[in-house]
Amino acid sequence: MPAERGASSARQLVRWAERELKRHDLCYGHGTDSAADEAAFLVLHGCGLEFDCPEAALDAPLDAATVARTRALVARRIETRQPAAYLTGRMWFAGHEFEVDSRVLVPRSPIAELILERFEPWLEPSRVRRILDVGTGSGCIAIACALAFPDARVDAVEVDAGALELARRNVQRHRLGRRVRLIRADLLPPGRLRYDLIVSNPPYVPTALVDESPAEYQAEPRLGLDGGVDGLDCVRRLLDAAPARLAPNGILLVEVGVAQQAMEQQYPHLPLTWIEFAHGGDGVFLISREDLVEARSMAAGQAGR
């Protein structure tokens, strides 16, 4: 990868990096959606600059070591096809920074927008006391919820020990050890505790699509992506188990992404609310405990006829 002469400021390096990234068949979607955004992400990290740094900092001359380090980072992105977040070890979600590595998916769920809005109008924030995050991965959803609801307790469930270890580091990073409880379990925590909100970004990509996905997605843990033949293996289990663990007027909110059509086809009787996002994203539904219980009762009644 030839070095561009005169690329001695962060701004010049961003322009150089964007051109280099565009020259290769890369895939974006792990916190950035274009070569331009990815170039800025990598260069600012390599230069030790924050995204909100003063304009003057972008034009300040850089020492040779910083330039070389930044170019090497861009080269690794091209050569390894790993998501940029794995190379930098960090990603932002709902306005907060999280440590990430290849043990977890790179945080990017549109659920972040709902957290920032405190799930209004579907929940009354002042009444939220307990939240459950199913499949927490890096812990980003659980931690962001705890920060958005300072009076709430949050349980975060994860089946993978490596992911849970990283989530613990992020909980400590945000000093939430007293309010965010990490639990290693498959789907739901043991016991009968009920929650005002159960939120989940489970594996929902159909197996065939996982197999065909670009290298950047193949670099992520398959456990966090592969949702079975139709992408709904975990979602079905959640729908069955949620009524017993939701508090009165509680809601279940789940991201199913590309499996939305399969979800609508298989559960036409469920009164699902599909969220419309202001900042992009789709495939997220919510349903209340009462609607889940009523739908189950009606289905049982029809089956008995």
pLDDT at position 48: 93
Q: What whole-number distance in Å separates Cα of residue 183 and Cα of residue 299?
A: 33
Instruction: Give backbone dihedrals phi and psi of 195, rounded to 5 degrees, phi first.
Output: -125, 145
| Pick from 279, 268, 235, 291: nearest CA to 122 | 291
Q: How many C-beta atoms lie closer than 10 Å to residue 279's C-beta?
A: 8
Query: Cα–Cα–Cα angle for 93, 145, 28, nearest 5°?
Result: 20
- Positive or negative: CA dihedral 94, 156, 247, 238: positive
Predicted confidence (pLDDT) per residue in 63-118, tens digit? 999 999 999 999 999 999 999 999 999 999 999 999 999 999 999 999 999 999 99
Residue 299: the pLDDT is: 67
118 touches 149 (CB < 8 A): yes
pTM: 0.92
Find tokens 């009644």 and name the residue.
Answer: 301
Count of residues making up the chain: 305
Which pLDDT belongs to residue 221?
97
Pair of tokens at residue 151: 């009076």
Q: Please give the angle made by the CA atoms of 63, 69 and 71, to the nearest 5 degrees.
A: 105
Residue 301 confidence (pLDDT): 62
Q: How many CB atoms lie within 10 A of CB 79?
A: 10
Q: Distance between CA 14 and CA 38 in Å, rounded? A: 9
What's the mean pLDDT when you consider all of the chain?
Answer: 94
Residue 69: in which H helix or E strand, if any? helix 64-80
Instruction: Using 50 as the pLDDT threshold, list the residues of the chain that sit under it.
Output: 1-5
Domain 103-303 in CATH 3.40.50.1100? The answer is no
The percent of residues in the chain predicted with pLDDT above 90, rounded, is 89
Question: Could you give the count of Cα atoms lying within 13 Å of 102 in the half-sphere of its Cβ?
Answer: 11
CATH 3.40.50.150 in the chain, residues?
103-303
